[in-house]
Structure 1
Amino acid sequence: MWEARAAEGRGPELLAWARAQAPEGEPLRREVFRAPQDRVLVVTWWEAEDGLSAVLPELPAPPAGLAARPVHRWRFESVEASPAR
């Protein structure tokens, strides 16, 4: 999971930049979200046998001046899923 907060007034630009980024390889799924305060979140799902220790592609940091602070990145491993209704 990748999350960044845009610099003042640059939310649409950060969102467009994040949507244009293509990670190396092909994730099983990718979703891009926006949130209040010009935050952008990108979640990707990968097939990985090594779980949390797997080496996977990462989205880069945005160009200088586009984000208000350093990017936050988290790795998660699925432990349970429910079917969609």
Structure 2
Amino acid sequence: MSETRDTRIKRLKMRSMRRGIKEMDLILSAYADRNLSAMEPSGLDTYDALLHENDQDLYQWVTGQVQPPETYASLISDIAQTFQK
């Protein structure tokens, strides 16, 4: 049985909060709370895949220290804007 949209969003929010480093917990949980409910299924797929990436890489992408992979470029840009507000 596949998970419902609500269950998926709850799972993604939980995974956003329970990262390896505190900075990513704060950045991703704030982003998830503000944006996941309005995302299309394809956006949720990309976000879900992003959560499988290493926290150190994610942090460097979000803070602009390193260019993110093209797959995540627009999502990382969106997360970075949320983080900088």
TM-score using structure 2 length: 0.31
Structure with more relative contact order (C-alpha pairs < 8 Å, separation 6 or more) = 1
Which structure has more strand as a fraction of its residues? 1
Larger Rg, first or second structure (1 or 2): 1
